[in-house]
Amino acid sequence: MRKLLNLSVAALLLAGGVYLYAEDEHEEHEHHASSFVAKPMSKQEKATVLLYQKECGACHFAYQPEFLPKRSWDKTMNSLNNHFGTDATLDPSDHKTIQNYLVSHASKNDRMTGMGGEIAMRISETPNFKHEHREIPKKMVTQADVKSFANCASCHTKAASGSYREREIRIPNYGSWE
């Protein structure tokens, strides 16, 4: 009887795992950035992420590094004196720490960021971003509660933790995106 019960529990767990895997595979347009996802990090890594979120997140959403390739982060970090019209210059030590974090966690996936020879300076310029947001009417983005595609957290309710699943999208004044 005990063996039968153990086999039944194992079958249920396996079936549940297959169902969850199939559900995740079904959501083909979803993305999960890993940098901020809860996973074991050293104290130094935690301190680096907090520094990045504090310094960059003080003015805008602290984007997950996986959204741009190394070349883009290098160019961004090397032009902070004119960062989209603002002087965002950092203390040299903080600059080096943040730049190292961004380039070491940058995207290696050309589908996400590939732009031929061009260097993307905005995540919204990448082919993957354009593809994922192609169906969104301009009026939903330009409204006062969103303002632009740069404001990820206004619609992606779990963007700060690195989750961009479609079922978690709530567009202000419009509701769920499904």
Q: What pTM did the predictor assign?
A: 0.71
80 by DSSP, 3-state: which?
helix
- Nearest-10 crossing angle of helices 92-104, 70-77: 170
Backbone angles phi, psi at 69, to 5 degrees: -80, 170
Q: What is the pLDDT of residues 40-98, one digit of tens each?
A: 789 999 999 999 999 999 999 999 999 998 999 999 999 999 999 999 999 999 999 99
**CB distance 66 to 106 below 8 Å:** yes
